[in-house]
């Protein structure tokens, strides 16, 4: 089923000038970009987004990392987007991520791992609403859309 998921290109992706390489992977796979913007995350937004991690010893460094430099937020739409995008992104510890995944190909770190992706459909709905207003999301057709899926998918 068609779903939407939230991605954040973290500051390391921007500083290393690999934004285009990352975004092209999603386009190549047949996913549609329905929202995209460069923003500076506030500390409050970081605490909300990483609420499951605020008590961890590395949280301070994580918050500094994601709030002191710009990030790029994206909403991606497509078939089983939440699960498939997590597979394309790879596991948190990029050192152990397989080649072919974004983290496997572009990072060797557990913290500077270039990208965030929602980890469940419920999280995706909450995270999209956290980062985007409805008016910042767009509905349009890709020119190759008829060739991407069979009609029953
Ligand atoms: N993180 C970190 N050290 C750790 C675990 C996580 O710095 O030991 C950071 C890392 O940037 C990671 C983010 O916290 O991507 C969120 O952690 P989570 O467990 O949700 O992993 P993810 O969903 O990003 O794979
Ligand atoms: Mg996570």
> Are the beta carbons of 94 and 114 closer than 8 angstroms?
yes
d(CA 11, CA 112): 8
- Residue written as tokens 């010893």? 57
Share of the chain above pLDDT 90, in %: 92
d(CA 53, CA 14): 23
Q: How far is the CA of 142 from the centre of ligand 2 (A)?
A: 29
Sort strands 115-117 and 2-9 into parallel, antiparallel or unpaired.
Answer: antiparallel
pLDDT given for residue 95 in this prediction = 98
Sort strands 115-117 and 71-79 into parallel, antiparallel or unpaired.
Answer: unpaired
Q: Residue 148's pLDDT band (boundaries 50, 70, 90)?
A: confident
Q: How far is the CA of 91 from the centre of ligand 1 (A)?
A: 9
CA-CA distances (angstroms) from residue 14 to 9, 38, 58, 61, 121?
7, 10, 21, 18, 27
121-140 tens-digit pLDDT:
999 999 999 999 999 999 99
> Are the beta carbons of 105 and 18 closer than 8 angstroms?
no
8-63 tens-digit pLDDT:
999 999 999 999 999 999 999 999 999 999 999 999 999 999 999 999 999 999 99
**What average pLDDT does this structure show over 89-100?**
98
Q: Is the pTM of this model over 0.85?
A: yes
Residue minimizing CA distance to atom 6 of ligand 1: 111
**What average pLDDT does this structure show over 101-109?**
98
pLDDT given for residue 146 in this prediction = 84
Residue minimizing CA distance to atom 17 of ligand 1: 92
Ligand of minimum distance to the alpha carbon of 109 = 1
Residue minimizing CA distance to atom 8 of ligand 1: 110
Superfamily of domain 2-137: Nucleoside diphosphate kinase-like domain (3.30.70.141)
pLDDT at 150 over 90: no
């Amino acid at each position: 089923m068609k779903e939407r998921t939230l991605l954040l290109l973290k500051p390391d992706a921007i500083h290393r000038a690999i934004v285009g390489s990352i975004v092209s992977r999603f386009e190549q796979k047949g996913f549609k970009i329905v929202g995209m913007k460069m923003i500076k995350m506030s500390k409050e937004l970081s605490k909300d987004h990483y609420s499951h991690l605020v008590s961890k010893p590395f949280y301070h460094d994580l918050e500094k990392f994601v709030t002191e430099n710009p990030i790029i937020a994206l909403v991606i739409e497509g078939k089983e987007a939440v699960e498939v995008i997590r597979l394309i992104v790879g596991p948190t510890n990029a050192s152990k991520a397989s080649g072919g995944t974004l983290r496997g190909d572009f990072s060797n770190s557990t913290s500077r791992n270039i990208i965030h992706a929602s980890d469940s459909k419920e999280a995706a709905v909450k995270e999209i609403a956290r980062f985007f207003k409805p008016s910042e999301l767009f509905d349009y057709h890709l020119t190759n859309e008829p060739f991407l899926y069979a009609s029953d998918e």
